[in-house]
């Protein structure tokens, strides 16, 4: 950590600051320039409150050198994390494709879609039971009943299932769920993250609409600090000024996250664009850029879907995407250790 002092700092205050820092087992290297004096703080600075230091009268600015996350940091964990999910893995050699409807609507619907995406090569089934909707008047999901239908589809097809939790109070219903999804709006629901850190379940953590990559990694750190290392990062588009697509898919997040962290990274092109015909090109780009997998909305009848039909693929269109993605994969960017 680097502390830049104002010109001519008051001596007594400077003395107090240095004494306090030393009491925290921090070694101080001082560089005196014409305009500023700089303190280089050496030691474990992760417990120093950067805002507190900035608030001091004699301080002009403070800059962090070390990343504020440890468990998620590739510097302390060189190898890629590979997470076992039932009969498959994510983060290793298998390219994971998590497919299914935005909302679970009926047994027939979820089972049909599950079978179709399995046939096309999906490795996991997704389906929403608890649905975060902007409007209180929109369909809120089948909730507990939806989870039961999802588990039926799991039984039928053998696909592991991924579904979203919206509140801690729902956690007891997620026993047989294979991967618990934390939605973009909950990426900084810290009470939820802490509790998920106490489960042993893989957590698919979606990047918030306006969250930086560092914030995403800090949220992963919340889960990992509780002892659960099974975190899957998911980029699903960020909010920008552009309105031609629902959000802006930030594909540079993939190589950057894989450089900063050892955790697997998947891409959700369906939510990012909000437009079904854009899912294919963006899925190909995601495969090429080195993502560990995709999350794609598939519905057997997108035009009558109860939510987000506009971005869902038909099973046939999904099979076409899978074929094209598979052709790209052998030529994709290889990140990892040597990034």
- Binding to a copy of itself (CB under 8 A): which residues in 90-149? 130, 132-140
How many other C-beta atoms can be found within 10 angstroms of the C-beta atom of residue 144?
11
Using CB under 8 A, which of 43, 92, 121, 336 touches a copy of itself? 43
Minimal distance, residue 3 CB to a copy of itself, in Å: 11
Distance, in Å, from the CA atom of 158 to the CA atom of 64, rounded to the nearest integer, reads 47
Classify strands 179-182 and 161-165 as parallel, antiparallel or unpaired.
Answer: parallel
- 227 touching a copy of itself, by CB under 8 A: no
CB atoms within 10 A of CB 306: 18
Does position 89 bind a copy of itself by CB under 8 A? no
Structure tokens at 60: 């002009």
Report how far Cα 166 is from the mean position of its chain's Cα atoms: 15
Residue 80: which of 312, 259, 215 has the closest Cα? 259
**Subset of residues 253 to 292 that bind a copy of itself, contact rule: CB under 8 A:** 253-256, 260, 272-274, 276-278, 280-282, 284-290
Binding test (CB under 8 A) with a copy of itself, winner from 18, 36, 121, 199: 36
Binder to a copy of itself among 85, 97, 263, 335 (CB under 8 A)? 335
* Span 192-211, contacts to a copy of itself by CB under 8 A: 192, 194, 208-210
In the complex, the smallest distance separating the C-beta of residue 233 from a copy of itself, rounded to whole angstroms, is 13
State how far Cα 22 lies from the chain centre. Answer: 37
Identify the residue among 112, 115, 248, 314 touching a copy of itself (CB under 8 A): 248
Q: How far is the CB of 65 from a copy of itself (least distance, A)?
A: 5
> Which range, of 85-93, 121-129, 185-193, 198-206, touches a copy of itself by CB under 8 A?
185-193
Determine if 11 is a binding residue for a copy of itself (CB under 8 A): no
Instruction: Pick the binder of a copy of itself from 25, 87, 106, 214 (CB under 8 A).
Output: 214
Give the closest residue to 305 by CA, choosing from 147, 100, 158.
Answer: 100
Of the candidates 243, 218, 262, the one whose C-alpha atom is nearest the C-alpha of residue 78 is 262
Residue 20 Cβ, how far from a copy of itself at the closest point, in Å? 10
Listed residue (242, 235, 244) closest to 272, CA to CA: 235
Contacts of 334 (CB under 8 A, 6+ apart): 290
């Amino acid at each position: 950590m680097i502390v830049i002092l104002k010109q001519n700092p008051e001596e007594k205050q400077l003395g107090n600051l240095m004494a306090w820092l030393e009491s925290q087992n921090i070694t101080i290297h001082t560089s005196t320039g014409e305009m500023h004096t700089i303190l280089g703080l050496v030691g474990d600075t992760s417990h120093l409150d950067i805002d507190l230091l900035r608030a001091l009268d004699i301080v002009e600015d403070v800059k962090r050198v070390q990343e504020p996350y440890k468990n998620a940091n590739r510097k302390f964990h060189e190898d890629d994390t590979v997470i076992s999910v039932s009969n498959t893995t994510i983060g290793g050699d298998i390219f994971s494709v998590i497919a299914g409807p935005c909302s679970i609507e009926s047994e027939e619907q979820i089972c049909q879609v599950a079978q179709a995406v399995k046939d096309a090569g999906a490795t996991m089934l997704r389906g929403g039971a608890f649905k975060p909707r902007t409007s209180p008047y929109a369909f809120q999901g089948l909730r507990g009943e939806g989870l039961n239908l999802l588990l039926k589809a799991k039984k039928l097809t053998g696909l592991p299932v991924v579904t979203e939790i919206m509140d801690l109070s729902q956690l007891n219903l997620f026993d047989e769920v294979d991967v618990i999804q934390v939605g973009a709006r909950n990426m900084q629901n810290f009470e939820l993250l802490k509790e998920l850190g106490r489960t042993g379940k893989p957590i698919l953590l979606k990047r918030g609409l306006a969250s930086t990559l560092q914030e995403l990694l800090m949220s992963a750190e919340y889960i990992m600090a509780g002892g659960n290392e099974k975190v899957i990062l998911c980029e699903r588009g960020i909010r920008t000024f552009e309105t031609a697509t629902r959000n802006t898919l930030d594909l540079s997040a993939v190589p950057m996250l894989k450089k900063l962290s050892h955790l697997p990274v998947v891409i959700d092109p369906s939510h990012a664009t909000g437009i079904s015909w854009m899912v294919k090109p963006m899925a190909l780009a995601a495969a090429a850029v080195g993502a560990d997998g995709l999350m794609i909305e598939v519905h057997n009848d997108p035009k009558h879907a109860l939510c987000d039909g506009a971005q869902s693929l038909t099973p046939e269109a999904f099979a076409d995407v899978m074929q094209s993605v598979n052709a790209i994969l052998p030529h994709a960017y290889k990140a990892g250790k040597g990034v």
